[in-house]
Structure 1
Amino acid sequence: MATFEFAMTTWGSPASPKRALLVHSALASGLVWFKRVDAPDLPGHGWIDRRSTYTVHGMAQYLADHLEGGYDLIASVSFGSTVVCSLLPLLNHKPERLVLVDPVFDMVPYSPEQIAQMISQTRKPVSEEDLLRKNPAWTTQDAIVKRLASVSCDPTVIGQLFEAASRGECSHDVLPPASETEIIILAADPALNSVYSSRNHVKLLEEEHPHVKLAIQQQASHDMHKDHPEVIAEVMLHGLGKRDGLEILRT
């Protein structure tokens, strides 16, 4: 597959007075944000060249080296949240708001079998039909770009990101200190296999990161950007507020 030094998908009006940066997770690419997006591919994903080593800090530096101008809003999902937290100190123009969607901070370790299953999706991804059957809220476009993102992902990056998590490189310690940027963790529904153990981390946030806000979106899975893209857009634009299905744990 042809690769490039840098690849980014951009949607919306070039004349817009504000810009948003959206960073994908592992086993994904910038295409998964197709609804509202200025979305780069991380190394080892999408159209970007393959490497022998992938690290969270390396991906953050990669973005810092290639992104031009500043962003008013930044959002990310899953593993991408560790990348943007490492990216924030490298940006001259800090965003007004950072939304971390179901991040992997201090997540329950995956078994070797679970990791192997994820890696297998880069070679034999789930069909669009099966994806739609398992995720009735998804659109056909969601299923198509998910499958494309899976096959365009370097399997090496999956294993190395989980190794980084096991070394503590994806813990809450990556959260930036208090600054002018509002930081919101938007967790998925625990009943739908949320990766972020929101209720277990309330005290930790209160004691170590009191500037970080936390909410749970009911009926949203780890793939919230596909299940409920409108929720992420609303939180990015307006922050946390009273709306159906949003349980606010920290403000």
Structure 2
Amino acid sequence: MTDLYTREWGAGDRIALLVHGITTDSTTWLRLGPELAERGYHVIAPDLPGHGKSARAAGYSVESLARALADSIPHPPELAIGHSLGGLLLATAVEEIKPERVIYIDPAWGPGHPSIAEAFRAQKHWTLDDVRSAAPRFTPEAHVNKLESLALWDEATLEIIPALTGFTPAPPSARTLLLLADPSNVVTPDQAVELTAKGFHVHTVPGAGHVIHHDDYPAFLNAAREWL
């Protein structure tokens, strides 16, 4: 076990692991966490190193973040969900975490680029109006949570982005759903076809942006209903 701060909901026998993306933290799951708890899960949502209430690290890499994630899970979860960077880390450590079912929400499997890092860096100076403008479909609570997450986020985590060369997951060993934004900037249509051939269940959520579970929560639940 690591000393990552972990937000939890429910006391069911089934474990659900929720992994957030870069610049945010476990507050991104404040709607989904209680929903899963009502469905009988014990929901575990860690703040990754350099995010939320978890400590900052001396340095960051996909490998070190994935290691911290894997070490934070006491038992193999029945369900694991990862968004964006969280989807990359979950895919990196999935054979060790050993979930029974997996949902990747627009995972960061594409190559990194300095311009992406700079776009994230600019978010550190956002106001609430900037958050509302960038994410008009988020709820008011999610707007506030995003701004608070940005204040806690360590910009040094961006050092991982230039090192990303693109991630190609192995054929899934668990039942796996890949939910994509419309369009996705992290998984190309050709890659989606290849991943379908590998055994991934691929579904694009019409009209949804990168943070699908905030942009269209009902559509997210509907698309994921057989995995939850």
TM-score normalized with structure 2 length: 0.85
Identify the residue that residue 186 of structure 2 maps to in structure 1.
196
Identify the residue that residue 77 of structure 2 maps to in structure 1.
71
Give the alignment partner of residue 23 of structure 1, picking from 14, 19, 30. Answer: 19
SS in 1 for 2:32: coil
Q: Over aligned residue pairs, what C-alpha RMSD do you find? A: 2.2
Give the alignment partner of residue 177 of structure 1, picking from 171, 176, 199. Answer: 171
What residue ranges of structure 1 are gaps of 5+ in the alignment? 241-251
Identify the residue that residue 163 of structure 1 maps to in structure 2.
162
| Shift in Å, 1:219 | 1.2
Identify the residue that residue 154 of structure 1 maps to in structure 2.
154
User: CA contact under 8 A between 1:128 and 1:140: conserved in structure 2?
Assistant: no
Identify the residue that residue 145 of structure 1 maps to in structure 2.
145
For residue 161 of structure 2, what is the amino acid of its counterpart? Answer: F
1:43-85: CA deviations, max 9, x gaps? 1111111122211121121122222123111111111111001
For residue 25 of structure 1, what is the amino acid of its counterpart? Answer: G
TM-score normalized with structure 1 length: 0.78
For residue 140 of structure 2, what is the amino acid of its counterpart? Answer: T
Name which one, 1 or 2, has greater alpha-carbon Rg: 1
Identity %: 24
Give the alignment partner of residue 226 of structure 1, picking from 186, 211, 214. Answer: 214
What residue ranges of structure 2 are gaps of 5+ in the alignment? 34-43
Give the alignment partner of residue 118 of structure 1, picking from 114, 117, 120. Answer: 120
User: CA contact under 8 A between 2:3 and 2:72: conserved in structure 1?
Assistant: no
User: CA contact under 8 A between 2:46 and 2:72: conserved in structure 1?
Assistant: no
Matches within 5 A, 1:31-46: 31-37=27-33, 38-46=44-52
Give the alignment partner of residue 201 of structure 2, picking from 201, 213, 225. Answer: 213
| 2:104 is aligned with 1:100 | yes
| 2:56 is aligned with 1:50 | yes
Change in 2 beyond 3 A, CA 1:233/1:95: farther
Change in 2 beyond 3 A, CA 1:210/1:143: same
Matched positions, count:
217
